[in-house]
């Protein structure tokens, strides 16, 4: 695991997808730094990532509103046809 900390900051990051992930002016450690605060967003992202693919599936969740909208439009079309 790679840890990064922006120069002048206290919090360590270890998830490259973190919105605070330092890209310039950072220190890098390969082992976990002791007694230093770790970014909560990184922790949350790591926990999400460790879920099985079928259980996390955020992409599928995002598509649901679209499917629901299509379904209600289809139902409306069917109702109009049978009136
Ligand atoms: Zn972070």
Return d(Cα 17, Cα 48) in angstroms, integer: 12
Expressed in angstroms and rounded, the spacing between residue 26 Cα and the centre of ligand 1 is 13
- 83 confidence band (pLDDT: 50, 70, 90): low
Six-digit token string for 47: 């926990």
Expressed in angstroms and rounded, the spacing between residue 17 Cα and the centre of ligand 1 is 8
Phi, psi (deg, nearest 5) at residue 55: -80, -35
Q: For the segment 11-57, what is each residue's pLDDT rounded down to a tens digit? A: 999 999 999 999 999 999 888 777 789 999 999 988 886 554 444 44
Distances (CA, A) of 22 to 1, 28, 69, 72, 83: 15, 10, 40, 45, 61
Read off the pTM: 0.56
**pLDDT top residue among 60 and 73:** 73
- 63 confidence band (pLDDT: 50, 70, 90): low
User: Where exactly are the structural domains of the chain?
Assistant: 1-50, 58-83
Given a cut of 60, whether residue 60 has pLDDT beyond it is: no
């Amino acid at each position: 695991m790679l840890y990064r900390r922006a120069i002048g900051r206290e919090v360590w990051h270890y998830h490259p997808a973190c919105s605070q992930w330092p890209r310039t002016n950072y220190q890098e450690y390969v082992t976990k730094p002791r007694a230093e605060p770790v970014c909560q967003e990184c922790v949350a992202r790591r926990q999400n990532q460790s879920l099985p693919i079928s259980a996390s599936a955020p992409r599928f969740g995002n598509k649901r509103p679209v499917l629901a909208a299509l379904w209600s439009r289809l139902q409306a079309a069917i109702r109009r046809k049978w009136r």
